[in-house]
Amino acid sequence: MTELIIKDLHVSIEGKQILKGLNLTVRKGEVHAIMGPNGTGKSTLAYTLMGHPSYEVTQGEIWFKGENILEKRPDERSRLGLFLAFQYPVAIPGVTVANFLRTALNARRRASNPEEKGIPIPEFRKMLIEKMNLLKMDSKFAGRYLNDGFSGGEKKRAEILQMATLQPEIAILDETDSGLDIDALRIVSEGVNALTGPNLGVVVITHYQRLLNYIKPQFVHIMFNGTIVESGGPALALKLEEHGYDWVREKYQEPIPA
Ligand code: ADP
Ligand code: MG
């Protein structure tokens, strides 16, 4: 059973504590949404899961497929089957989307089999076309340089295509709180909906309540002040849609010190 288990996670940036004891378990086949107002530490959680060196884990554990991954590099985490979409993807002029994806896929395959010769190009091309059709993408996209001059929506598509190609077991998608327009939101949602199934677990992180118009998570978590304060099913999403975050702030706001 593939599980991502986050236990009592405490994270600091430049000495400032941001995550304050976060617990979450995600299994293959599940769709989770983590929602919360800006500044509560949602992106901090995503970067920490990815292994970004600026984020210091001061307490707690992160387990993936039975291994403690805290000491693993980002590329090692990726090869194990954890996928983390970048909030601000980097452009690589000179490297096409297709080449980038083939290189990444081969690296992932070699992690499980050192003898792996790499996927033959015709087989890769066939697979890529299938994935692009699934995501309703124009095949010309594969020949463009990665993220070079891509619109916000195209970057999102490239991210989702990367997820479709690498076939991770657990994917964490941190959606930008700024600059994510309704089209990008729809693209991400459609991609997630097309790819979810028994072989993929997804965590979508966002502050947009309207995301839930597109993705129907089985599990909804509300994050506030560095921790998950409420977890529930789709009913919790409806409550957020109806009442926003004000009740969360009222209920969980730390008292202002005298
Ligand atoms: P969210 O994604 O929920 O909006 P973030 O994880 O981006 O929240 O930020 C949580 C808190 O951490 C905020 O108070 C933010 O100012 C602070 N923070 C985030 N990144 C950094 C950083 N690189 N350096 C210093 N503080 C940061
Ligand atoms: Mg964020």
Atom of ligand 1 nearest to the CA of 38: 4
Region of residue 127 (phi > 0: left; psi between -120 and 50: alpha; otherwise: beta)? alpha
List all residues whose CB is within 6 A of at least one atom of ligand 1.
13-14, 16, 18, 36, 38-44, 54, 177
Ordered per-residue pLDDT tens for the chain, 258 residues: 789 999 999 999 999 999 999 999 999 999 999 999 989 999 999 999 989 989 999 999 999 999 999 999 988 898 889 998 765 567 788 889 999 999 989 988 887 788 888 999 999 999 999 999 888 888 888 998 888 888 777 888 888 898 999 999 999 988 765 566 777 778 778 888 988 899 999 999 988 877 778 888 999 999 999 999 999 998 998 888 889 899 999 999 876 666
Ligand with smallest separation from the Cα of 177: 2
Of 25, 36, 91, 15, nearest to 237 by C-alpha is 36
3-251 CATH pick, 3.30.830.10, 3.60.15.10, 3.40.50.300, 3.40.50.1000: 3.40.50.300
Can you give the residue ranges of every domain in the chain?
3-251
Q: Give distance in angstroms: CA of 58 to centre of ligand 1.
A: 16
Contacts of 132 (CB under 8 A, 6+ apart): 138, 139, 141, 142, 161
- Hey, which of 17, 34, 43, 207 would you mutate to test ligand 1's pocket, going by the most ligand atoms within 8 Å of its Cβ? 43
Rounded to an integer, what distance in angstroms lies between the CA atom of residue 211 and that of residue 186? 8
Give the pLDDT score at 176.
63
Rounded to an integer, what distance in angstroms lies between the CA atom of residue 222 and that of residue 249? 11
- pTM of the shown model: 0.90
Q: Give distance in angstroms: CA of 110 to centre of ligand 1.
A: 35
